[in-house]
Structure 1
Amino acid sequence: MNGFTTALEVAAQLTEARLQAEIAALPESNVRAAMAYAARGGKKLRGFLVLETARLHNIPAEMAVQAAAAIEAIHAYSLVHDDLPAMDDDDLRRGQPTVHVKWDEATAILVGDALQSLAFGLLARGDAAPTPDARLALIASMAQAAGGGGMVLGQALDIAAETASAPLSLDAITALQAGKTGALIEWSACAGARMAGADPSHLANYARALGLAFQIADDILDVEGDAALAGKRLNKDQTAGKATFVSELGLEGAKMRACDLITQAQDALQTYGDDAQQLREAAQFVIARSN
Structure 2
Amino acid sequence: MIPANFPALPEFPPGEVWLAGAGPGDPRLLTVLALHAIGCADVIVHDALIDRRVLDLRAAGAELLSAGKRGGRPSPKQGEINALLVEHARAGRRVLRLKGGDPFVFGRGWDEAAALTEAGLRFRIIPGLTAGLAGTALAGIPATSRDTNHAVVLAAGHRAEDGSSDADWEALARLGQPIVLYMPMAQLAGIAAALQRGGLAPDTPAALVQSAATEDERVVDSRLDALAEDARRAGVGSPCIVVIGATAGLRHEVRGSLVGWR
Question: Is the strand fraction higher in 1 or 2?
Answer: 2
Length-normalised TM-score, structure 2: 0.29
Question: Is the helix fraction higher in 1 or 2?
Answer: 1
Larger-gyration structure (1/2): 2
